[in-house]
Copies of this chain bind each other. A is one copy, B any other.
Amino acid sequence: MRLEVLDTTLRDGAQSGGMSLRAQDKIRVMRALDSLGVDYIEAGMPAGSETDARFYEIIKHEKPLVNAVLCAFSSTCHPACKAEDDENLKACAFSPAPVVSVFGKASEWQVKRVLQTETSENLRMIEESVRFLKNAGKRVFFDAEHFFDGAAENMDYSLECLRAAARGGAEILTLCDTNGGSLIGRVSDIVRRVNSEFAGMLSIHAHNDSGIAAAISMAAVSAGVVQVQGTVGGMGERCGNADLCTLLPNLILKMGYDMKAKECLKNLTHLSRTISEICNFTPDRRAPYVGSSAFAHKGGTHIDAILKDDRSFEHINPKIVGNSRRLLISDQSGRSAVHSRLLLAAPDIKRDSPEMDKIMLAMKKKAAEGYRYENAEGSFELLALKAIGRRKTFYEVIDFHVLCEKAIDARNAMAHIKVRVGDSEEINAAEGDGPVNALDNALRKALSVFYPCLEKMRLTDFKVRVIDSGGTASTVRVQIETTDGERVWSTIGVSPNIISACFKALTDSIDYMLTFLDKPMA
């Protein structure tokens, strides 16, 4: 049987402290997850928050997913309430998601102590909630919350909960190690026992509180589950969920499972970083497979050995998951990818030309400063042009000053700027909501005198990311997205000074418009 994957980054992952995604961000994460080849994408509760409600509204008008099926989420109905009166269940029934995960308690202790209801009432809630959704035409997965702790204390009751869900029509029964405290022996034993009754219906949902979520999930697969659940980067509350970026390669490459994600494995590193970026989740550089240090080699003997044979200190070839080896000496990874992104800027450059060497070298230098071009293609194209001596200069910023004064809120920054275009100089000034906005306003005001097209420019996104932890002296990466009403382009700036970083991203954005304005966009 094929092993399936349910990604819950948008649901359980979003429980991470500090994460708050806009509906549009969730759509972007969903698209990236779809490219990752997961089978199901569990999103939030349609009636849970305004953001989630908007997400499900937007979905209705979006083009369908390629690999994955969307899965809504709800609890069962409440004690002494009917399923058909439950707002969350109703919202799921009317949502565009073909699948709904319903969670309910599968532990006698939790039912009595936390839910404070009768064990039989809990069974009724489970069965009715599942049946309600099934009758509404949904495929239903039942999340058996606290299953392993419950089963360890009273296996019979935990099994009754699964039976109730199965009677209601659930097609998948998810065994949850909700508190993340189970060890492998217990999980293997319990899964084997449950599998004797529910073969082909079980899923595993592990949390990392004991630091072994991936191992537990793998043990459950060996013991018979047909679906694994997890999140990108192991996002999730407390210690997080099982990390799909670890689990997928382990299952596919090491345990030999046939999975839809197999075809997409080479995108794993890229997609995991894209998703982390959207979620403003700092990716762990030591993460297995996808971390920037996962294949980084330090120390002479290790590097010597790697140069003799990369099997000497690498458990897999990093290319398989789209990552790359990092040595102190040259690595050629990505030449084809880099070349493929030059179609607009320099279509005549051949993959093996000396110009390509220059571009690769320029990129490596910038990477060392903290530049990442995955979400800043505009800046990448300008960098490539510069590396081969083709970047045009449209103006020179001779000087600028930005002054901020104490004020409890906003509009307390002033910038003045002096630019030169040809033989003409222009001095101008503007105020703004903070120093970055003031500088942006002043810069465009001054340059629009020479290039009126810049008046059409409008920033649509502005992201700031701290990329090392030196407190307020940290290096920051600013990424902006600009539109002229028709096209959209993204640029980047990196500096320990946020004003410098923004200035770089802003001038790149202006340069991009002036360079490529009359050409067709990629």
Contact = CB atoms under 8 A, between A and B. Distances in A.
A401 interface: yes
Interface string A493-522: 001111110110010000000000000000
Interface residues of A, number: 124
A312 interface: yes
A405 to B, nearest CB: 5
A409 interface: yes
B469 A461 contact: yes
A260 interface: no
A424 interface: no
B179 A314 contact: yes
Interface string A160-202: 0000000000000000001111011100000000000000000
Contacts of A496: 409-411, 433-434, 437
Interface string A298-325: 1101100100110111111000000000
Interface string A280-303: 101010111101011111110110
B299 A15 contact: yes
Interface string A201-218: 000000011111011101
B409 A239 contact: no
A315 B209 contact: yes
Interface in A212-232: 212, 214-216, 218-219, 222
Given A209-B315, A246-B211, A297 B237 contact: yes
Interface in A415-467: 432-437, 439-440, 458-467
Contact of A402 (B110, B209, B403): B403
A399 B403 contact: no
A444 to B, nearest CB: 10
A86 B479 CA distance: 37
Contacts of A439: 472
A18, A308, A406 interface centre (most CB from chain B within 10 Å): A18
A179 B315 CA distance: 5
A299, A375, A437, A480 interface centre (most CB from chain B within 10 Å): A437
A352 interface: no
A412, A465, A499 interface centre (most CB from chain B within 10 Å): A499
Contacts of A378: none
A173 to B, nearest CB: 21
